């Protein structure tokens, strides 16, 4: 039985302009791997309605889950919720449950729930809210798309609320061997191991550190005994 699959859509001009370095993809990747959900594709698009709609449709059709990051705030460039609704051909409007959450939050702070903030209560028809313990404005799940904020602390909190609701698979285990030899020296051995263990993935990640060329070999799989056996065998071959 294969693991469920996932994709991510990062929405934001600030990533593509080089102003901000995305950290949400890296965070999500680690969380999905721990839960046994295979992260298969990610896309980054600009704050552009057509681009978001097209990417949501493509990813939602192909993978079990899609996680989006960014574009659900109160400003004119926050267009993710509208675009996700449009991707599924569903209407979107201010929803009472989301409005009540925002009203309570701003009342507590003595702030006005003005027109801009009310935009954050716009939720597509049929969506389930995702709790935002940090700044109240909720994310939402529509079909297989989980729409979350771009601010990393909020994104991470939303991931933490959504993931336990999803069915995971066998977590991917990995072991790493660091080899201070050129990648070309060990390539044949790695291919031999990869062929001998077709259920495992054998990745090879060259590095340069202090002028020394080396390789980190990562053996991944869901069966701990197999991963251990492959790494032991590889270590033996490298010593030989």
- Least Å distance, CB 219 to a second copy, is 12
Single out the residue of 131, 107, 125, 128 nearest to residue 117, CA to CA.
Answer: 107
Binding site for a second copy (CB under 8 A): 13-23, 25-26, 28-33, 39-47, 51, 73-78, 111, 114-117, 119-120, 134-135, 151, 153, 172, 174, 182-188, 190-191, 194, 201-208, 213, 218, 220
Nearest distance from C-beta of residue 204 to a second copy, angstroms: 4
Distance CA 183, CA 145 (A): 39
CB nearer to a second copy: give 20 or 57.
20
Considering beta carbons, is residue 195 or 239 the nearer one to a second copy?
A: 195
Q: H or E element: which one contains 61?
A: helix 49-62
User: What is the spatial distance between Cα 38 and Cα 182, in angstroms, rounded to a whole number?
Assistant: 30
Residue 211: partners with Cβ closer than 8 Å, 6 or more residues away? none
Smallest separation, CB 136 to a second copy (Å): 11
Q: Give the residue from 72, 93, 68 showing the smallest Cα distance to 146.
A: 68
Pick between residue 31 and residue 158 the one whose CB is nearest to a second copy: 31
The C-alpha atoms of residue 74 and residue 82 are separated, in whole angstroms, by 13
Residue 76 phi, psi (nearest 5) = -60, -25
Surface-to-core class of residue 60, CB atoms within 10 Å of its CB (0-12 exposed, 13-18 middle, 19+ buried):
buried
Q: 90 vs 171, which CB is nearer to a second copy?
A: 171
Looking at beta carbons only, is 86 or 189 nearer to a second copy? 189
CB of 126 to a second copy, least distance (A): 26
Tell the smallest beta-carbon distance from residue 29 to a second copy (Å): 3
């Amino acid at each position: 039985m294969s693991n469920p699959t996932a994709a991510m859509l990062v929405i934001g001009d600030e990533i593509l302009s080089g102003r901000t370095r995305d950290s949400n993809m890296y965070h999500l990747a680690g969380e999905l791997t721990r839960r046994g959900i295979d992260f298969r594709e990610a896309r980054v698009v600009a704050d552009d309605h057509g681009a978001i709609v097209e990417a949501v449709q493509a990813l939602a059709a192909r993978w079990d889950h899609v996680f989006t990051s960014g574009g659900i705030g109160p400003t004119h460039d926050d267009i993710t919720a509208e675009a996700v609704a449009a991707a599924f051909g569903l209407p979107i409007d201010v929803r009472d449950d989301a409005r009540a959450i925002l009203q309570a939050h701003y009342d507590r702070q003595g702030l006005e729930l003005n027109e801009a903030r009310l935009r954050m209560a716009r939720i597509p028809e049929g969506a389930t809210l995702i709790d935002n313990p940090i700044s109240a404005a909720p994310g939402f799940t529509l079909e297989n798309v989980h729409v979350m904020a771009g601010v990393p602390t909020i994104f991470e909190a939303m991931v933490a609320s959504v993931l336990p609701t999803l069915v995971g698979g066998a977590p991917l285990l990995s072991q790493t061997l660091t080899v201070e030899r050129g990648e070309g020296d060990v390539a044949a051995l790695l291919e031999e191991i990869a062929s001998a263990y077709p259920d495992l993935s054998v990745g090879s990640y060259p590095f340069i550190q202090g002028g020394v060329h080396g390789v980190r070999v990562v053996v991944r799989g869901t069966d701990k005994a197999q991963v251990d056996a492959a790494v032991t065998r590889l270590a033996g071959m490298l010593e030989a």
